[in-house]
Amino acid sequence: MALPVRRSSSPPERWDPFQELGELHTRIGELMEGNWAGLTDRASGIWSPLVDIEETDDAWLVEAELPGVKQEDIDVEVSDSELAISGELKERERKGILRRRTRRTGRFDYRVTLPGEADAERIEASLKEGVLTVRVPKPERARRRRIEIRSA
C-alpha cells in the first residue's frame, strides 16, 4: 500500500550566505581566542589591552588601547622596573537584544618589565580618546649621552 506524500505549500528555505559568514566569523574568533592565551585568561576572564612601547633618549612611552574605560577605573603602578596597568571595563546597560558581541568587558591586566631603571617620581599618565599614555622617564644616569672624541 502506498502512503500519501504530503507536499508543503511554502517554498523551500533559501540559503543565506551572510548567516553562514557570521557563524564562520564567530567560530574563527573563538579559535583565535584559544590560540592567543596571552590576550585572555579564559578561566578568570582577565584580558590584556593592545599596547605599543616606544623608547626615546629620556623615557619609555607606553600606549594602551582602552576604549570606553573611565579614568577612575584604571590603575597604573610601577615597582622597580615593572609597569603594571590594570582596571575594569564595565559593561553598559543595554535596552535591546545583544545579537553579537566581539568587544571585551571585565577586568584587564597588562604588565611589562622595562629594559632599564625608571624614575618613579616623575611618571606621568594621561587618557585621551581611549588611549592611555604612560610616560616613564629614565633616570639621569641611565640616559644616553654623546661622548666627544678628542684627537690624541
- Say how far apart CA 6 and CA 103 lie, in whole Å: 47
Residue with the bigger pLDDT between 28 and 107: it is 107
pLDDT at 37: 41
Q: Is 8 helix (H, G, I), strand (E, B) or coil?
A: coil
**Confidence band for 103, pLDDT divided at 50, 70 and 90:** confident
**Confidence band for 105, pLDDT divided at 50, 70 and 90:** confident
The total number of residues shown for the chain amounts to 152
CB 107 within 8 A of CB 45: yes
State the amino acid at position 16 in one-letter form.
D
pLDDT at 38: 44
19-72 residue pLDDT tens: 788 888 877 876 765 555 445 555 567 899 999 999 998 899 999 999 999 999
Q: With 70 as the cut, is the pLDDT of residue 8 above it?
A: no
Q: With 90 as the cut, is the pLDDT of residue 107 above it?
A: yes
CB 60 within 8 A of CB 133: no
Predicted TM-score (pTM) of this structure? 0.65
Helix intervals (H) in 38-96: none
- Say how far apart CA 41 and CA 11 lie, in whole Å: 47
Q: What average pLDDT does range 105-134 have in this prediction?
A: 92
pLDDT at 22: 81
